[in-house]
Amino acid sequence: MDTIQPILAAIFVLALLGGTLYWLRSKGLARFNGKGFSRQGTRQMQSLERLSLTPQHSLHLVSVGGRTLLIAVSPGGCSVVDGSSWQLPGENKLGER
């Protein structure tokens, strides 16, 4: 009888967590994508491409708030190389694929 009570308590807590996750997902407040939980539609920044030049130097094509930036990364820091309107192949004017 002494071992049954902690086991039932653990099962009860896991059931509460599962129920809460199910409720959050049904309301659209949480999404599990394999990397963790996230809110839908809140991504403002996205890494589009990365080109390694040397082990310490690389170029990153990043989309931030509808703009696409080319960023150079080195041991000394980061700098924006170009902030003009990039358009990837297969992308329309609105930046949608």
Give the confidence band of 32 by pLDDT, cuts at 50, 70, 90: low
How far is CA 19 from its chain centroid?
A: 24
Q: Each residue of 10-26: pLDDT tens digit?
A: 999 999 999 998 888 88
Q: Report which of 24, 48, 20 is spatially closest to residue 38, judged by C-alpha positions.
A: 24
Distance CA 74, CA 54 (A): 9
Distance CA 97, CA 88 (A): 9
Distance CA 13, CA 7 (A): 10
- The model's pTM: 0.46
Around Cβ 47, how many Cβ atoms within 10 Å? 10
Residue-by-residue DSSP string for 18-31: HHHHHHHHHHTS-E
Q: Which residue has the higher pLDDT, 36 or 75?
A: 75
Residue keyed to tokens 């949480």? 30
